[in-house]
Structure 1
Amino acid sequence: MKFHSTNEIKYFDYNSTHPPYHEILESCLEEYFDSFYNPSGITRFSLKNQGKIEQTRKYLSQITGGKEKQFVFSSTGTEANYALIQSLRVMQPTLASVIVSPFEHSSMYAALGSYGFEPILIQTHRSGVIDLNHLKTLLQTHPSPVICLYAGNETGVIQPAEEIRSLTKQYGQLFLSDLMQAFCKIPVPFHLFDGYTFSGHKIGAGMGIAVTYFPEENKEFRLFGGGNQENEHRAGTENTFAISCFQKVTEIQLANLEEKNVRLQTFQTLLESNLESFGCEIIAKEERRLPNTTFLILPIQTVDFFLLGLEEKGMIVSTGSSCKSRAREASKSLLHMGYSEEEALRAIRISTGSFTKLEDVNLLIDQMNQLIQKLI
């Protein structure tokens, strides 16, 4: 399959949104046109659609080892994160604080505030890996559930999930994780997490579908009331089209995962060796990272002109987390890691994926070199 686009865009912002698998979405749309029936209806046509939803829930159970009834479909990653935190509030109504990494998506911190949790931040090393000794101290002094994403959306750094799980288990606490950037990008040790989230548009399944895995089955929990959909956790007619797309794209991504990552690792090495020769600093270079992600500090101050220059050449990169990139704020991840605000404002992210080609990477390297030389 290939990246279908009506223009000549060279796309390097996969961590924001993975381009859709065109053929899969088209086939699922045709299926939806033929079978548009409300899955909550009583006819055999509706029941067939409900069966497809439950089949996808069963599929998720098979690939993760989780329990079917603890998977709930929603519309976006933000909603999925809110659902995870709301479920925690229902489980522990008197809990005051939660231990959290400083690298979470903004929606996670917002959800914590909405449900009355005080976030206690884990210290981090300059490498982008959380400080396990500080986490242990926090668990000793403030025994609370731990929230730590598995892979950073900016740095691509993979956190030490086994060690985190060991500590949370030692102190009898839950370990919850945002797996948005890890799911279908690297093998995920689902058994280490008590609850987690991931999203369809991060893997090429299109927008409108996300998943929350609740830490426990709780029949009293209602994200939305007013209907019995999603085992009565989330009222509202399910997006059967998006759910079908999600399963089919997941199957393709997992089947090709090893081959894809070998290719993306080659691209990452090629990119970073050249970028360093241009005076760029690769962030967390020596750490275990996603093979598709390069977060770097440019050797120039005029980052906006640099990005505009790339865009004029039909190349899209990012300044970091897509939900914040438009604001041009200094990356909070880098600030927590010990970088200065001036350095953080010079950071950009390059992220590749399923449809990235070697010739595109070489073109990006060439254009970045030319722009840096002009703006330095």
Structure 2
Amino acid sequence: MAPMGIYLDYNATTPCDPRVLQAMLPYLTEIYGNPANGLHVLGRKAARAVESAREQVAALLGAQPNEIFFTSGATESNHLALFGAAEYAPSNRRKIITCAIEHKAVLAPCNRLSEKGFEVIVLPVDENGLVNLSDLENVLDGDTFLVSIQAANNEIGTIQPMNKIAHLAHQLGALVHSDAPQAVGKIPCDVNAWDVDLLSLSAHKIYGPKGIGALYVRGGRRSIPLRPLLEGGGQENGLRSGTSNVPAIVGFGKACEIVAEELPSESIRLRGYRDELEAGLLESLPKLRVNARGAPRLPNTTNITLEGIEADAFLLSTPSLMMSTGSACNTGAPEPSHVLLAIGLTREQARSSLRISLGRMTTFEQVNIVVHLFNEYLKQK
């Protein structure tokens, strides 16, 4: 058995990097001023730290600092993007397009907007989780207000062609939003290359603190009208009121700085480990299926199906392995993964599926142990 357990659930959340924690500590104990108060030194230092972090987040995305707005995380960013933009939708543009494997933090707001009179089109995906661009082109028209497609899927790792999606949408004057917390930190994310108008991200997916995220808004506050979800003191240029969480913001900025430096080498390392893991499992477990293997995928993510094996039972009987059966946000839900159903798996196959997501602390030794533990479990069956 693996000592202390092997954590392979990095798509759910990541541990806070010690370098991030060290950057945060002074703002918890010494520089505790409110950045909205520029009349004393602690407030001014806190304000400078917030703006420095804003620059770090912007740099990771190829954005400008005035295009970054801090939120509590990607879920809030998605709500701000979707509900905030919808408040200013012209009366002749009431169509929103998304896809079947979006995170529930996008699908749920879209459902609410459909109740408010918007026409919401949910595009199917192919067996690899990819949106068919012809399907998108067929439903895009002059009535389309917004297209919201995730950059990369949290369960199967499929990477969507965001620049092609944005090109089609912009030809008809639609806004483009991408829910991107899984992509940021794992693949290069350039908002200009992707040509998106709005993009959501979270710190806790990139070894930063929980409870902090951001929304990228192309051109800044005045370029794309958004109705704030929270009103009050007018923080974040009036887009997100509430006292700034300075320690978390500083940690977010530091996490982005580290990712920007380490992404190229880390991506190669994790892809190698992921491929080795899949090869080892496929060699010893002939009935195993790797889902979405034919699509461009996140380098750290694999989703496997072992028919006849209950994924929950496997995890409960192998406590040294920490992975998941789907989105962490849906843990405990009785229904099988909507993502796996959307790519054509049966309900039984979906319940026999596991998401394995590698990360910064994953080692090659752990990869070999995982293959061994799968084999040991199946020998007992």
Judged with a 3 Å threshold, the aligned counterparts in structure 2 of structure 1 residues 73 and 159 are, in CA distance, closer, same or farther, namely same
Residue 61 of structure 1 aligns with which residue?
58
Unaligned runs of 5+ in 2: none
> What one-letter code is carried by the residue in structure 2 that aligns with 1:294?
T
Q: After TM superposition, list the pairs within 5 Å mapping 1:79-228 onto structure 2.
A: 79-92=76-89, 94=91, 95-115=93-113, 116=116, 117-140=118-141, 143-191=144-192, 192-215=195-218, 217-218=221-222, 221-228=227-234
Hey, what's the Cα distance between the residues in 2 that align with 1:27 and 1:161? Answer: 33
Larger mean CA deviation between 288-297 and 22-31 belongs to 22-31
After superposition, the C-alpha distances for 1:316-371 in whole angstroms (9 at most, x for unaligned) are 01001111132142111121222211111111100001111111111111101111
Q: 1:26 to 1:62 in 2, by over 3 A?
A: closer
Please tell me whether residue 374 in structure 1 is matched to residue 380 in structure 2: yes
Secondary structure of 2:70's match?
strand
Equivalent runs, 1:297-312 vs 2, <5 Å: 297-311=305-319
For 1:237, the equivalent position in structure 2 comes to 243
| 1:232-275: CA deviation from partner (whole Å, max 9, x where unpaired) | 11111111000111111111112111111111111111111122
Of 278, 281, 284, the match for 1:275: 281
Range with bigger deviation, 195-204 or 207-216: 207-216
What is the TM-score normalised by the length of structure 1?
0.92
The answer as to 2:301 corresponding to 1:293 is: yes
TM-score under structure 2 normalisation?
A: 0.91
Q: Residues 167 and 45 (structure 1 numbering): CA distance in 2 closer, same or farther, change over 3 Å?
A: same
SS in 1 for 2:144: coil
- d(CA) in 2 for partners of 1:283 and 1:209? 31
Q: What residue in structure 2 maps to residue 332 of structure 1?
A: 338
Deviation at 1:284, TM superposition (A): 1.1
Count, aligned residues? 367
Cα RMSD of the aligned pairs, angstroms, is: 1.9
Runs of 4+ in 1 over 4 A off after TM superposition: none
Aligned partner of 2:36: which letter?
S
1:252 counterpart SS class: helix
Shift in alpha-carbon separation, 1:27–1:48, aligned structure 2, 3 A = closer
CA distances 1:124-175 after superposition (whole Å, capped 9, x unpaired): 1111111111100000485342110011001101011122122112222111
Aligned-residue offset at 1:93: 5.5
**Structure 1 residue identity aligned to 2:29:** F
Q: Find the counterpart in structure 2 of residue 348 from structure 1.
A: 354
Equivalence for 2:254: 248
Q: Is the 8 A contact 2:94 2:144 kept in 1?
A: no
Q: Secondary structure at the match of 2:298?
A: coil
- CA apart distance, 1:118: 3.8
Verify the 8 A CA contact 1:139 1:171 in the aligned structure 2: yes
Which sits farther off after the overlay, 334-343 or 125-134? 334-343
